[in-house]
Amino acid sequence: MPTPRTIAIDGPAGAGKSTIGALVAERLGYLYLDTGAMYRAVALAALDRGIDPDDGAKLAELARSVRILIGPPTVRDGRAYTVLLDGRDVTWPIRAAGVDRVVSQVARVPAVRDAMVEQQRALATQGRVVMVGRDIGTIVLPHAERKIFLTASAAERARRREEELAARGEARTRQQLLHEILRRDQLDRERAVAPLKAAQDAVVVQTDGLSVQEALDRVLAVITRPNAPRS
């Protein structure tokens, strides 16, 4: 079966979208774009410049001025891709606790989303793409040929995040991570612009208890099966 040109993978924080999306793109030879990394890069730039995460006007100006590039891994340190912010490698800094706390606030600013969505749609025209985020199937690429909503329980997502941080030598309690995940879920679901939700024609893939390979196999099965839903 021919593979679809555009694949949208959405889901809440910590569901494994970045890892699975990068593996799908590698397997199929597609361009990979983690849109969440773009919002994290804007949030990091705001923190670096001392911009209040509630100052929509300054955040909008910042989003229009920074250069964010996402490409294949440039360092063998466990990363699924490399993120450059104005030429600086910020792949790991955008995963810092400070960014975790403010990224949902930054992402809910309409003008910030407008700036990012414009870039995301432009990238989708350049070839076959796997695009990962929270509003890809509903807003960014509503006509994507395959839409997947990847999810897991909040407890499972907190456990995975704890393990990911520990592997990098960072220590944060699972309870703290669970609190942050639940807060981000609420902010993402309740924001006025592009709230987190599954597209009507998305296939929901629950990953609790699955290994990365098992989750990847399920997603690939959705992508390649001939009766997968189309928008």
User: pLDDT band for position 62 (50/70/90)?
Assistant: very high
Domain range for 18 is 6-223
Q: What is the pLDDT at residue 142?
A: 96
Stretch 99-124: mean pLDDT: 91
Looking at the domain assignment, is residue 230 inside a domain? Answer: no
Q: What is the pLDDT at residue 148?
A: 97
Q: What is the pLDDT at residue 187?
A: 87
Q: What is the pLDDT at residue 215?
A: 96
Q: What is the pLDDT at residue 143?
A: 94
What percentage of the chain reaches a pLDDT higher than 70?
97
Looking at the domain assignment, is residue 206 inside a domain? Answer: yes
Looking at the domain assignment, is residue 1 inside a domain? Answer: no
Judge whether residue 3 has pLDDT over 90: no
14, 158 contact by CB (below 8 A): yes
Looking at the domain assignment, is residue 99 inside a domain? Answer: yes
| Domain total of the chain | 1
Q: What is the pLDDT at residue 1?
A: 55
pLDDT tens digits for 136-178? Answer: 999 999 999 999 999 999 999 999 999 988 888 888 899 999 9
Of 21-25, 44-48, 159-163, 192-196, where does the model show the most confidence? Answer: 44-48
3-class secondary structure for the chain? CCCCCEEEEECCCCCCHHHHHHHHHHHHCCEEEEHHHHHHHHHHHHHHHCCCCCCHHHHHHHHHHCCEEEECCCCCCCCCCEEEECCEECCCHHHCHHHHHHHHHHHCCHHHHHHHHHHHHHHHCCCCEEEEECCHHHHHCCCCCEEEEEECCHHHHHHHHHHHHHHCCCCCCHHHHHHHHHHHHHHHHHCCCCCCCCCCCCEEEECCCCCHHHHHHHHHHHHHCCCCCCC
Q: What is the pLDDT at residue 226?
A: 73
Angstrom distance (rounded) from CA 75 to CA 11: 27
Neighbours of 5 (CB within 10 A): 13
Judge whether residue 2 has pLDDT over 80: no
Tell the burial category of 116 from Cβ atoms under 10 Å away from its Cβ (0-12, 13-18, 19+): buried
Looking at the domain assignment, is residue 229 inside a domain? Answer: no
CB contact set of 169 (below 8 Å; sequence gap of 6+): none
Stretch 191-214: mean pLDDT: 92
Looking at the domain assignment, is residue 46 inside a domain? Answer: yes
Looking at the domain assignment, is residue 228 inside a domain? Answer: no
Q: What is the pLDDT at residue 192?
A: 81
| Mean pLDDT (the chain, rounded) | 91
CB contact set of 23 (below 8 Å; sequence gap of 6+): 80, 212, 216
Looking at the domain assignment, is residue 110 inside a domain? Answer: yes
Judge whether residue 231 has pLDDT over 50: no
CATH at 218 = 3.40.50.300
